[in-house]
């Protein structure tokens, strides 16, 4: 079927006035961005709906991309017809006949937003239903559980017929809620945490701690690939790559082994807070969940975040590992995340890490370190990589 228009519905009905305008404008911009490669499409909005006029572009491809745009509640591929009884009947028939497999039962529902049209919505539904029954053998009306719902919308901006409604990604349009800096490792959890933050309309930048040469170029590439996967849901994701070897070496030389992980994470937070300030991000986000591993205890979180003021979002805190894994499969990060490259934490993992680390002890052990110098040095040498979703591997290969 050659569809004419993809109709986009968006929700959060609670939004009013200025918020609603901003929501709509941000959504429009994001839809434009994601369809950038489809040069023929025209995108416009009218009366609380958005329309993508295909002008010959492939409906399936366009819809697949639109299903990744947060803020959209559902979409329908539609044909647009003239606002006459004849055109509506013919259009409905043409669309119905194109369906595979041929449905056996149907219902018609009509919404007449343009009251200038002379027939009531009930009458239009009846007219179309009768026409379909007369034209196609063996089909029946079923108002309760039809194989297909033929939906007719008569609006001032056009008359649209569709038989299909696909779910959108929900949430809020990315960019509507400010910016967050995500601590992105190569694991399963943090990309999911990033996705959940994006879903609430947040623009994302990511920070990754890299311990070259203890961690390889390929481990870093994996993180870039994960960031790139996230761009499919939220435009550009800037990735800040922090050289972390010096910090880790200093910790290993001067601090007791069982506090290495705690102190290392305190440094991650300090560095992230500085980068967030520079990039005007108002919060950090991590993939931590409570009790998932020995180090993710409340005591540990308390001691780690004690060194920063910036809020830390932990969108996975209420989730089980299986729920997190389900999402990571859905958003196509799972296969990347399970690639077996080393990461900076695993390399420096002590035999018996403290599971209930205490602030006073961490502070005492850190006295041997020049904290400010280590932090400033790492921040200064941090490199920013722009991940646009179209980045070629060669462009970002030689960072070190």
74-91: b (≥16 Cβ within 10 Å) or e: ebbbbbbbeeebeebbbb
**Helix, coil or strand: residue 263:** helix
Binding mask of the shown chain, residues 190 to 219, with x at each position contacting ligand ATP by CB under 6 A: x-----------------xx----------
Q: Which residue has the tokens 């209930």?
A: 356
> Burial of 211 by CB count in 10 Å (0-12 exposed, 13-18 middle, 19+ buried)?
buried
Helices assigned H by DSSP within 139-201: 189-199
Give residues 4-43 in contact with ligand ATP (rule: CB under 6 A). none
For the chain, the maximum distance between any two Cα atoms, rounded to a whole number of angstroms, is 88
391 binds, among Mg ion, ligand ATP, none (CB under 5 to 8 A by kind): none
Residue of the chain from 30, 78, 185, 231 that contacts ligand ATP (CB under 6 A) = 185
Q: Which residue has the tokens 């033929």?
A: 150
- The binding track of 98-127 with respect to ligand ATP, each residue x by CB under 6 A or -, is ------------------------------
Our finding on whether 185 is near Mg ion (CB under 5 A) is yes
The reply on whether position 234 binds Mg ion by CB under 5 A is no
76 binds, among Mg ion, ligand ATP, none (CB under 5 to 8 A by kind): none
Q: Quick one: which of 24, 189, 305, 366 contacts ligand ATP (CB under 6 A)?
A: 189
Nearer to ligand ATP, 187 or 243 (CB): 187
Would you count residue 274 as binding ligand ATP (CB under 6 A)?
no
Q: Among Mg ion, ligand ATP, none, what does residue 188 contact (CB within 5–8 Å per kind)? A: ligand ATP
286 binds ligand ATP (CB under 6 A): yes
Rounded-to-integer distance, Cα 66 and Cα 390, Å: 17
Closest CA to 269 of 385, 183, 189, 362: 183
Q: Does position 304 bind ligand ATP by CB under 6 A? A: no
161 to 92, 107, 166, 381: CA distances (angstroms): 7, 13, 15, 57
Of 95, 184, 220, 301, the residue at the interface with ligand ATP (CB under 6 A) is 184
Segment interacting with Mg ion (CB under 5 A) among 187-195, 216-224, 300-308, 361-369: 187-195
What is the rounded CA–CA span in Å between residue 33 and residue 298?
41
Residue with tokens 């929900």: 170
Q: Tokens standing for 47?
A: 């009366």
Please report the sign of the dihedral spanned by the C-alpha atoms of residue 191, residue 195, residue 197, residue 203.
positive
Least distance from ligand ATP to the Cβ atom of residue 267, Å: 11
Q: Report the residue from 148, 226, 344, 396 that binds ligand ATP according to the rule CB under 6 A.
A: 344
Q: Which residues contact 334 (CB under 8 A, 6 or more apart)?
A: 188, 325, 328
The gap from C-alpha 126 to its chain's centroid, in whole angstroms, comes to: 41
Minimum gap (Å) between residue 182 Cβ and ligand ATP = 7
Q: Which residues bind ligand ATP (CB under 6 A)?
A: 183-185, 187-190, 208-209, 286-288, 292-293, 295-296, 343-345
Q: Which residues bind Mg ion (CB under 5 A)?
A: 185, 187
């Amino acid at each position: 079927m050659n569809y004419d228009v993809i109709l986009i519905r968006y929700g959060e009905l609670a939004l009013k006035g200025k918020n609603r305008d901003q929501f709509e404008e941000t959504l429009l911009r994001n839809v434009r961005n994601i369809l950038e490669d489809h040069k023929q499409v025209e995108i416009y909005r009218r009366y609380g709906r958005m329309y993508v006029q295909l002008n010959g572009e492939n409906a399936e491809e366009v819809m697949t991309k639109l299903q990744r745009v947060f803020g959209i509640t559902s979409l329908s591929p539609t044909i647009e017809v003239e606002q006459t009884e004849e055109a509506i009947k013919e259009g409905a028939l043409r669309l119905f006949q194109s369906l595979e497999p041929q449905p056996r039962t149907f219902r018609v529902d009509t919404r007449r937003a343009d009251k200038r049209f002379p027939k009531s919505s009930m009458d239009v539904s009846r007219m179309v239903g009768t026409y379909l029954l007369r034209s196609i053998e063996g089909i029946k009306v079923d108002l309760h559980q039809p194989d297909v719902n033929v939906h007719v919308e008569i609006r001032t901006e056009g008359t649209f017929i569709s038989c299909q409604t696909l779910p959108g990604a929900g949430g809020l349009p990315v960019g509507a809620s400010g910016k967050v800096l995500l601590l992105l490792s190569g694991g399963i959890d943090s990309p999911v945490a990033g996705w959940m933050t994006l879903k609430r309309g947040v623009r994302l930048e990511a920070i990754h701690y890299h311990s070259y040469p203890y961690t390889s170029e390929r481990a870093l590439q994996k993180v870039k690939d994960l960031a790139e996967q996230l761009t499919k849901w939220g435009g550009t994701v800037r990735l800040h790559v922090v050289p972390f070897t010096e910090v880790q070496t200093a910790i290993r030389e001067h601090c007791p082994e069982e506090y290495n992980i705690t102190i290392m994470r305190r440094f991650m937070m300090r560095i992230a807070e500085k980068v967030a300030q520079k990039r005007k991000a108002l919060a950090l986000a991590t993939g931590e969940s409570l009790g998932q591993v020995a180090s993710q205890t409340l005591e540990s979180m308390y001691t780690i975040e004690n060194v920063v003021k910036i809020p830390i979002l932990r969108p996975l805190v209420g989730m089980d590992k299986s729920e997190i894994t389900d999402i990571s499969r859905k958003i196509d990060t799972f296969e990347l995340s399970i690639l077996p490259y080393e990461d900076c934490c695993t390399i420096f993992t002590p035999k018996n890490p403290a599971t209930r680390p205490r602030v006073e002890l961490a502070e005492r052990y850190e006295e041997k370190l020049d904290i400010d110098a280590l932090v400033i040095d790492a921040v200064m040498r941090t490199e920013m990589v722009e991940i646009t979703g179209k980045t070629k591997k060669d462009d970002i290969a030689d960072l070190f």
